[in-house]
Amino acid sequence: MSARIPVAVLAATGSVGQRFIQLLADHPWFEVVAITASDRSVGKSYAEACHWILPTPIPAAVQGMVLQPTDPASAPAPLVFSALPADAARNVEPEFARAGAWVCSNASAYRMAQDVPILMPEVNPQHLDILSIQQSNRGWSGGILTNSNCTSAGMTVALKALQDAFGLRRVFAVSMQAISGAGYPGVASMDILDNIIPFIGGEEEKVETEPLKMLGRFDGNAILPADFTISAHTNRVAVQDGHIVCLSVELAQPASPQQAAEALAAYQAPVTSRDLPSAPQPVIQVRSEPDRPQPRLDRMAGAGMTTVVGRIRPDKLFTLRLVVSSHNTIRGAAGGSIYNAELLHRQGWVKP
Amino acid sequence: MSARIPVAVLAATGSVGQRFIQLLADHPWFEVVAITASDRSVGKSYAEACHWILPTPIPAAVQGMVLQPTDPASAPAPLVFSALPADAARNVEPEFARAGAWVCSNASAYRMAQDVPILMPEVNPQHLDILSIQQSNRGWSGGILTNSNCTSAGMTVALKALQDAFGLRRVFAVSMQAISGAGYPGVASMDILDNIIPFIGGEEEKVETEPLKMLGRFDGNAILPADFTISAHTNRVAVQDGHIVCLSVELAQPASPQQAAEALAAYQAPVTSRDLPSAPQPVIQVRSEPDRPQPRLDRMAGAGMTTVVGRIRPDKLFTLRLVVSSHNTIRGAAGGSIYNAELLHRQGWVKP
Amino acid sequence: MSARIPVAVLAATGSVGQRFIQLLADHPWFEVVAITASDRSVGKSYAEACHWILPTPIPAAVQGMVLQPTDPASAPAPLVFSALPADAARNVEPEFARAGAWVCSNASAYRMAQDVPILMPEVNPQHLDILSIQQSNRGWSGGILTNSNCTSAGMTVALKALQDAFGLRRVFAVSMQAISGAGYPGVASMDILDNIIPFIGGEEEKVETEPLKMLGRFDGNAILPADFTISAHTNRVAVQDGHIVCLSVELAQPASPQQAAEALAAYQAPVTSRDLPSAPQPVIQVRSEPDRPQPRLDRMAGAGMTTVVGRIRPDKLFTLRLVVSSHNTIRGAAGGSIYNAELLHRQGWVKP
Amino acid sequence: MSARIPVAVLAATGSVGQRFIQLLADHPWFEVVAITASDRSVGKSYAEACHWILPTPIPAAVQGMVLQPTDPASAPAPLVFSALPADAARNVEPEFARAGAWVCSNASAYRMAQDVPILMPEVNPQHLDILSIQQSNRGWSGGILTNSNCTSAGMTVALKALQDAFGLRRVFAVSMQAISGAGYPGVASMDILDNIIPFIGGEEEKVETEPLKMLGRFDGNAILPADFTISAHTNRVAVQDGHIVCLSVELAQPASPQQAAEALAAYQAPVTSRDLPSAPQPVIQVRSEPDRPQPRLDRMAGAGMTTVVGRIRPDKLFTLRLVVSSHNTIRGAAGGSIYNAELLHRQGWVKP
């Protein structure tokens, strides 16, 4: 175990930070050696400063670890997981990259930057190669790679399988998103109990652009976004974890529900990403019951990394309708970042 | 008050039946004189047989009323409100019509019959005239008129205003529906707490057809459905009352969000329906906040009869996106039926 | 209407402040002429500054009213309703009293002060007389009177009826409290969805002392607390409004459930409080169903002012067990304060 | 694995039946060879007949297994787990016992029978010896042993530790119980969303008697109930899994909260029960945070078998107050039954 790569977790006490701590607890390759928080918590132990909201205990190795300021000198590590809010990430993540660290970020700050990939190893591992350009552009010895917002994650996996098999033209996406996606304390209980909030600030814009970048082509110089169009409605509902997206898709070639189900079920991660520790097993689970997927029942499929698809049926306007479920703080956040880091390490970018 | 029209409520103990009893309690024109239930409850008092689930008390006049079998001899009245399930409605409602009663029905059994209107007085009061054809076809002295399923109700009001102003071509509709829409006991709590069920049996078919009939044209002989297309996803969520529908609409003529908001806010019921006791005041409420409508806050707008619309914004694929809220057991069920009966009475069909 | 008494609402934008605004909208005696808020909101209109969370619209008369700083010069009125947090109330409420205003306060700051009454007009209107001592002690031309915390309110009404009829010795009280009791944003949704929080800071202490003061005797000089003992457990549950308290009571004299039910149902407010505009009608509603009261069904009894009691049954350790329901932000907060002000006015303390 | 003991699960498709199937999936000692259901489902495969409501998949070995009628000939096995409702259990369980099977039952039918133990291996393993008397009384070659109702389970563990250390005199218990305790479909969603139901039929009687039997003494002939008294209020709340009980206890000897916490944390299962496969590790977890235990965070402690205790503090009327959390369908139902069967097997009662 002494050979594990030391990693730091930035903003370790928040909702996504806690998922990092939980998922990294017994990681075969990575070992948490530094954790950071905002000024108010620096100097306290993790157990003391953190209002832990997960149903498993705080990992023993982290309980007594002291929270550091969020800068490369205080949290030195070759690999850094960032659960920072976008504003803080914008300033802080480049400092770590400049200091030689690889920053696997959940923040939206750099997702749409030209030389920064939004990575899903089961979808677009080849986008990792743009990191050379990033290092060269910015003079960094490390770098930044991001994962998408939590809603885009699951639907992008499903769209990738359909894109490969049939091509994509137009996509309607309506999400019903869990409260954990808003962080902690996040959504006030009075706002969501017996209610729906049909609005999540900035989310529709992300859902309409991030999948296109992930499903685009890296031509050696730049990532060219995929040339289909997404229209999104995003909603907050009273679900603890797990996002549902209703999709209506217009395909480039005709496909029956059965053909689509087969393409989705057969989809595999590219070989380089397939057997990484956090790789979803399977990447996509197709359910045939009329009323699945459901967040409570399906969010933990494949330890929270699998995308679950169901209700594949014809659409009166486009080609097909389907429903996608994905765990928003595992596949859509911390788990996705860790999977990204595993690919980064597998491909030799991380120098411990 | 002795001059009020005597009415019967069929299946008065269920979820929609209770709303009928509640809303008719102080009705200026109608007086409940007979209530029916299934064999198990016949002969019991309403208070005894009914598991009352509304937060207002059982109206005093009905508490001790004895439940009758569901047939015209046991529940004679010139006007009958039916909360029967579709199967029972198919056999029983014609018996009442044959016996001379006007049946205002919530059931789906006859909605798509050629000579039966799906009526919303603020949308298509002229469809009432098909009742003459119905009486002639079937040799009835009474007749059957229906209201739409609860999800179609609100969205049809919004679509009517857009249709009149700009024309409609294509509509994507994704609903998030309250548990009261499934009746009582209906949805099991273990299925919906911390969860979403992305399926409601038969609902998508209804949402894709009933609005077209309501928005169609009565040419003196038949109701010709409107010639646009709807694609629907329907979902059940943990909300007590109030359905939300996310709409993406392709209009025949261009319209900005501002123009659509104005058309929606300006929409009025046809004169004949405008000042009926249950007429929604206003028909449509347009909200400008970024996060409205919400079921908990907006379902009781206009005593539960008003359709609330918000988040009117451009759409990347079609013309506009918007969010519609409507109370499913008031505007979408019992309240809608009562409004229908008021129009029927206003136009002289009911002979007390 | 021009003769109505002008009133100010302090901290008008919060959860309890909104209830004040809602309940005062059409009050026959009082008219809101000034509203205050914290610095951040001062100078904004109420509609602009307030995240309104009630399902009725903001009253038209208040929508455009400009928020003032919370001091007597900025919000001059002979009668003031305070929804201030305890810390702010401690400093600010005496300023208003010194300036001649009567402060009807929801805050806990002065509840246990020797010369300040915790008032419930249907329970202890005679405690109002201590206000003369308060004015004399403190040299105020106005004064402060408080209502109890929201959990104590309903249980105190029920205990008063039992105390009068049978005497009280010992009381076990276990509450299940609605989220609105914690203010807005208050309880994080991730903390309460699919969960219970068996702790509310400071609440058990209040529940164990405030009822004793309210049920105590004013001897002309001081309020002597009632000489029985309360032990409390307080819990937060996923309910929007309405607190439930399970009580086990040891009575001084034996009483059957039937006798207790009769005593509770027969309880009336003292004559001076009985016909005030906000007086609960009835004070106590006794329900005989095995599974009532329930917050969703019973919180709005008597427009939210009635205390609902059910499940009266023998207790193996004490005399009786019963369940009490009360609306926490109406009877237990804003509505209670307004009822207090009505009594104050009726008894001639308020000089407009 | 071929050496595992064959077991049958009676009523395998219900809420508790599913937990049996889930928890037995990889059991080191037991192997499910027969499953039964009501007539409607007999002859169907488990996957076909069962509306599976757990978030893990149906175990592969059971998916295709065909449901049998619930009688010893159709479901022959030396060890039988019964999730039957009480009425059915009353008739059917003796048939299995007569046929030589050991029936580990969740049903209440035989719990209070003189010669049937209510067993918790970490509390009263010595009660197992009454099975000889049962066999002799009834002429059975097998026998029936039961586990307690789900609410009694956790509180009995906590009371056992206090009883051993300080003695018990009087106990007030107020439960807040999860919806899964009512089976499936069980509680209607309209009844529990935004609500509390302060009544569970028959539950208070069970909570007031079953712990006394479990904490009683087996004198070689009979189980003499413990001589303290319990008074219970039981409530249903909107929680998926995990029961909370607020306890106020009068101890025979004085104890500080600190002493009680130490006694609870130090409590161990008797040696014979300590290292069984389903033994809780630890038996009791004592939490020191002010707001724990909470069902969402604590129900899965010790894989759902650990009793979690917190908020240990003085009581104004009795000695101490505390809060107990326990997983109702694991420790309080299927998991408890399996733990019982393990003890039965360990002590040599089961002859494969």
Query: What are chain B's domains?
Result: 5-149+334-346 (3.40.50.720), 151-327 (3.30.360.10)
Q: In the predicted model, what is the mean pLDDT of residues B215-236? A: 98
Q: pLDDT tens, D210-224?
A: 999 999 999 999 999
Q: Which of A190, A194, A195, A237 to mutate to test the interface with C (most CBs of C within 10 A)?
A: A190
C-alpha to C-alpha distance for A207 and A156, rounded to whole angstroms: 9
Nearest-angstrom CA–CA distance, B341 and D66: 53
pLDDT at B268: 98
Residues D57-75, mean pLDDT to the nearest whole number: 97
Cβ–Cβ under 8 Å, residues B224 and A207: no
User: Which stretch of DSSP H or E encloses residue C96?
Assistant: helix C86-98
Residue type, D92: V
pLDDT at A351: 83
The verdict on a CB contact (< 8 Å) between B297 and C55 is yes
Residue C1 pLDDT class (50, 70, 90 cuts): very low
Q: Which two tokens stand for residue D138?
A: 């009834």
Contact check, Cβ <8 Å, B321/A233: yes
Q: Inter-chain contact D180–B193, Cβ cutoff 8 Å?
A: no
Q: Is the pLDDT of residue A3 over 90?
A: no
User: Residue D345's closest CA among D23, D29, D9?
Assistant: D29
pLDDT in tens, B144-173: 999 999 999 999 999 999 999 999 999 999
- Helix-strand-coil percent breakdown of chain B, rounded to 5? 35, 25, 45
Q: What are phi and psi of A335, to 5 degrees?
A: -65, -40
CA-to-CA distance for D7 and A287, rounded, in angstroms?
30
Q: Residue A1: which pLDDT band, with cuts at 50, 70 and 90?
A: very low
Distance CA D170, CA D179 (A): 28
CA distance A307 to A157: 7
pLDDT, mean over chain C = 97
State pLDDT tens for residues D246-257. 999 999 999 999
Distance CA A65, CA A278 (A): 25
Subunits with at least 3 CB pairs below 8 A relative to chain D?
A: A, B, C
| pLDDT tens digits, one per residue of A12-40 | 999 999 999 999 999 999 999 999 999 99
Residue B2 pLDDT exceeds 80: no
Mean pLDDT value across residues A294-312: 98
Q: Which of A50, A104, A150, A327 is catalytic?
A: A150
| Residue C351 confidence (pLDDT) | 83
Q: Do C56 and B296 touch (CB under 8 A)?
A: no
What's the Rg (C-alpha) of chain B? 19
Contact map slice: B 243-272 vs C, CB within 8 A: none
- Residue B342 pLDDT greater than 90, yes or no: yes
Residue D228 has pLDDT above 50, yes or no: yes
Distance CA D121, CA D128 (A): 9
Residue (of B278, B154, B163, B136) closest to B217 by Cα position: B163
Take residue B201 and report the two structure tokens written for it.
Answer: 């049996």
State the angle between helix axes of D130-138 and D86-98 in degrees (0 to 180), rounded to the nearest 10.
80
**Which chains sit next to C, with 3 or more Cβ pairs under 8 A?**
A, B, D
pLDDT digits (tens, 9 = 90+) for A224-270: 999 999 999 999 999 999 999 999 999 999 999 999 999 999 999 99
> Which among C174, C297, C311 has CB closest to D174?
C174
Beta bridge partners of residue D229, listed in sequence order:
D170
Nearest to C323 among D198, D294, D296 (CB): D198
| CA nearest to A241, candidates D1, C194, C304 | C194
CB contact under 8 A, C238 and A193: yes
- The answer to whether A112 contacts chain D (CB < 8 Å) is no
Residues in chain B: 352
d(CA C214, CA C225): 7
- Yes or no: say if B257 and B313 are a contact pair by the CB < 8 Å rule: yes
Question: Do the Cβ atoms of A180 and C184 come closer than 8 Å?
Answer: no
| Nearest CA-CA distance, residue C93 and chain D, Å | 31
**Which chain D residues are Cβ-neighbours of B241 within 8 angstroms?**
none
CA B192, CA B201: separation in Å to the nearest integer? 16
Best interface-test mutation with C: which of A189, A193, A328, A329 has the largest number of C CBs within 10 A?
Answer: A189
Q: Above 50 in pLDDT, residue C267?
A: yes
Render pLDDT for C122-147 as a digit per residue (tens, 0 to 9).
Answer: 999 999 999 999 999 999 999 999 99
* Neighbouring C-beta atoms of residue B195, cutoff 10 Å: 26
Cβ contacts of B69 within 8 Å, gap of 6 or more: B36, B39, B42, B75
Q: How far apart are CA D322 and CA D331, in angstroms?
A: 19
Instruction: Give, in order, the Cα–Cα distances in Å from C220 to each of C132, C211, C217, C224, D333.
Output: 10, 19, 9, 10, 59
Q: What pLDDT, on a 0 to 100 scale, did the predictor assign at position D1?
A: 43
Task: Give the dihedral sign, CA C172/C176/C178/C182.
Answer: positive
For residue B231, what is the DSSP state? E
pLDDT at residue A230 in the model: 98
pLDDT digits (tens, 9 = 90+) for A136-172: 999 999 999 999 999 999 999 999 999 999 999 999 9
Provide the token pair at D66: 């065909």
Please give the distance of CA B273 from its chain centroid, rounded to a whole number: 15
Secondary structure (H, E, C), chain D? CCCCEEEEEECCCCHHHHHHHHHHCCCCCEEEEEEECCCCCCCCEHHHHCCCCCCCCCCHHHHCCEEECCCCCCCCCCEEEECCCHHHHHHHHHHHHHCCCEEEECCCCCCCCCCCCECCCCCCHHHHHHHHHHHHHHCCCCEEEECCCHHHHHHHHHHHHHHHHHCEEEEEEEEEECHHHHCCCCCEHHHHCCCCECCCCCHHHHHHHHHHHHCCEECCCCEECCCCEEEEEEEECCCCCCEEEEEEEEECCCCCHHHHHHHHHHCCCCHHHHCCCCCCCCCEEECCCCCCCCHHHHCCHHHHCCEEEEEEEECCCCCEEEEEEECCCHHHHHHHHHHHHHHHHHCCCCCC
Mutation target to probe the A interface, by most A beta carbons within 10 A, among B169, B195, B250, B321 is B195
Interface of B with A in 297-316 (CB under 8 A): 297, 310-311, 315-316
Please determine, for residue B4, whether its predicted confidence score (pLDDT) is greater than 90.
yes
Please identify which of the residues D50, D104, D243, D327 carries the catalytic annotation: D243
Task: Report the pLDDT averaged over residues D129-148.
Answer: 98
